[in-house]
Each structure stands twice: as C-alpha cells, then as structure tokens.
C-alpha cells in the first residue's frame, strides 16, 4: 500500500526527531499534504494506526493538513490558488498553465511533544536501576 510506506517513513523520521527529547512523548504529528501528492488522507490516517503500533510514538495523533494547488500564470505575472485539481487554468484570466508552485508537498509540518514527560522518565529510570 502506497500510503503505508509513506506513513512508515514519517514514523521513522518522527521517532528520530523525538530521540532528541529522551522520555518525552509525541502527542501529535502534523503533515502537510499537497492536493497533487496523490495520497488518500483517509488511508494515511488508517495506516498511521498500523505504522505506529508498538513503536515509541504509539498513541500519537496524526493531523493531515491539505495544501491547495497554486499555479503561476505567466500573462498575469502572479500565482493563484486553484479550487481543485481538475483544471490547471489561471483563475484570473483562464490561461492554461502547468507551472505548479505548490500542491505536491508531502512533509512533516510539526511534531508536538509532551516535554513534561521528562519527569516521568526520571522516575522510570530510578526503577530501571532495580535488578530484575
Ligand atoms: Zn492569468
């Protein structure tokens, strides 16, 4: 499944970033997904549950933000946002354009981390020192 491999790489990347905050818990991951990224948002959310299961970020919430398509129109000399992905015409003059400036994104926008979790970890570390 296309979405599962995308989500898996997001999980890897988030896990890596979260490693900089030992003991902190990842609460929420925000993704920016362009309207042209050809991914199904519902599938991303579904795969998120599978991909995070059993990992350090299990239970983190996935928030997908859809980014609209923006095209550059040469005659108008400006970029405009499109309503959909059906037609690549400048909304101002109707000129056909294939100069897509935005809408192919597939990136992590932000990761929300519960740093208060550090205190809990300190407690857990103490316990971990007890053999057995
Ligand atoms: Zn135009």
User: Which pLDDT tens digits describe the chain residue by residue (132 residues)?
Assistant: 589 999 999 999 999 999 998 888 999 999 999 999 989 999 999 999 999 999 999 999 999 999 999 999 999 999 999 988 888 999 999 999 999 999 999 999 999 999 865 544 443 444 444 444
- Determine the distance separating the centroid of ligand 1 and the alpha carbon of 33, expressed in angstroms: 25
CATH code, domain carrying 60: 3.30.2320.50
Q: Between vectors from CA 17 to CA 15 and to CA 20, what angle results, nearest 5°?
A: 110
Pairing mode, strands 106-114 and 25-34: antiparallel
- Determine the distance separating the centroid of ligand 1 and the alpha carbon of 83, expressed in angstroms: 15
Q: Do 20 and 42 sit in the same domain of this protein? A: yes
What pLDDT sits at residue 39? 92
- Determine the distance separating the centroid of ligand 1 and the alpha carbon of 132, expressed in angstroms: 71
What pLDDT sits at residue 1? 56
| Distances, alpha carbon 88 to alpha carbons 33, 34, 68, 70, 96, in Å | 18, 15, 12, 9, 6
In DSSP terms, which residues pair with 63 in a beta bridge?
A: 30
- Determine the distance separating the centroid of ligand 1 and the alpha carbon of 87, expressed in angstroms: 13
Q: In the block, which residue shows the tokens 């932000």?
A: 110
- Determine the distance separating the centroid of ligand 1 and the alpha carbon of 77, expressed in angstroms: 7
- Determine the distance separating the centroid of ligand 1 and the alpha carbon of 96, expressed in angstroms: 8
What pLDDT sits at residue 26? 96
Q: Which residues contact 42 (CB under 8 A, 6 or more apart)?
A: none
Q: Do 20 and 63 sit in the same domain of this protein? A: yes
Q: Do 61 and 119 sit in the same domain of this protein? A: yes
Q: Do 39 and 82 sit in the same domain of this protein? A: no
Q: Do 28 and 85 sit in the same domain of this protein? A: no
Q: Do 112 and 57 sit in the same domain of this protein? A: yes
What pLDDT sits at residue 36? 93
Domain residue limits at 42:
2-68+103-128
């Amino acid at each position: 499944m296309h979405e599962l491999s995308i989500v898996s790489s997001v999980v890897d990347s988030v896990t890596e970033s979260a490693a900089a905050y030992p003991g902190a818990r990842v609460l929420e991951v925000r993704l920016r997904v362009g309207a042209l990224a050809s991914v199904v948002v519902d599938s991303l959310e579904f795969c998120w549950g599978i991909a995070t299961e059993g990992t350090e970020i299990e239970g983190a919430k996935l928030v997908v933000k859809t980014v609209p398509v923006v095209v550059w129109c040469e005659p108008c000399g400006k970029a405009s946002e499109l309503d959909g992905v059906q037609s690549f015409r400048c909304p101002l003059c109707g000129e056909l354009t294939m100069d897509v400036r935005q809408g192919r994104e597939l990136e992590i926008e932000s990761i929300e981390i519960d740093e208060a979790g550090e205190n809990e970890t300190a407690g857990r570390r103490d316990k971990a020192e007890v053999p057995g």
